[in-house]
């Protein structure tokens, strides 16, 4: 989401002082993914095109910050001439280290599935048994898009409260949910992707 550009740029400046940061904000990638219940082929093609443009513009790395298209970003890697990173991969690794029961909280079904699979793959790589408990905050994304951030936050916090009682750690599946970290007090660690994801650029 375009609203994330400024905070992510600040984090990137901390990690790579003086580096040139370029933003490509294309909400149609998410819209088309939602409409198709997953990234359609043309989303992959556009990601590859953005990677090519980034390379031609002098970029050394492309960081994909939308978890809904994270799996498309992985498929784009062998087709690109520069590294393509998912913002949520370090968070998934951290979650696997944090506890046996991992909650995944999302406001979009198109994000819940990919993030759940990402955490599951991280556990498989480490050869550790982990139970993953997904939870979708119904109506929260629609409230945010409809101009009601207070309702969005309330629904996310409600979902977080339910999930936190069942798990050892909660993963926030979308970078846009990171603000909940300062509001939620569920007695369990809460992981979000922005800081650890941007740290990959170091």
The reported pLDDT for the residue numbered 186 is 73
Residue-wise pLDDT tens digits, 89-113: 999 999 999 999 999 999 999 999 9
For the sheet with 101-106, list strands across it.
131-136, 101-106, 169-172, 190-191
Tell me the average pLDDT across 164-174: 94
**Burial (CB count within 10 angstroms: exposed 0-12, middle 13-18, buried 19+), residue 82:** middle
The reported pLDDT for the residue numbered 183 is 58
* Predicted TM-score of the model (pTM): 0.90
State the CATH class of domain 89-193. alpha beta
- The segment(s) of the chain belonging to CATH 3.40.50.1860 are 89-193
The reported pLDDT for the residue numbered 187 is 84
Is 183 or 142 the better-scoring residue by pLDDT?
A: 142
Residue-wise pLDDT tens digits, 107-120: 999 999 999 999 99
Helix axes 27-35, 109-126, angle to 10 degrees: 90
Residue-wise pLDDT tens digits, 4-61: 788 888 898 898 898 888 989 999 999 999 999 999 999 999 999 999 999 999 999 9
């Amino acid at each position: 989401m375009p609203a994330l550009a400024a905070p992510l740029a600040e984090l990137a400046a901390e990690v790579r002082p003086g580096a040139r940061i370029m933003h490509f904000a294309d909400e149609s990638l998410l819209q088309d993914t939602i409409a198709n219940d997953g990234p359609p082929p043309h989303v992959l093609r556009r990601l590859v095109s953005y990677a090519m443009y980034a390379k031609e513009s002098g970029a050394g790395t492309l960081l994909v910050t939308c978890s809904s298209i994270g799996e498309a970003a992985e498929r784009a890697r062998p087709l690109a001439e520069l590294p393509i990173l998912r913002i949520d991969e370090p968070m998934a690794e951290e979650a696997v280290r944090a506890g046996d029961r991992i909650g995944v909280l999302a406001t979009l079904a198109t994000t819940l599935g990919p993030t759940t699979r990402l955490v599951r793959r991280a556990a498989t790589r480490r050869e550790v048994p982990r139970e993953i408990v997904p939870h979708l905050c119904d109506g929260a994304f629609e409230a945010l898009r409809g101009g009601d951030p207070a309702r969005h936050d309330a629904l996310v916090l409600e979902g977080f409260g339910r999930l936190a009682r069942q798990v050892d750690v909660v993963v926030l599946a979308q970078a846009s949910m990171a603000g909940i970290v300062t509001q939620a007090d569920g007695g369990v660690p809460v992981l979000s992707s922005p800081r650890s994801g941007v740290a990959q650029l170091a």
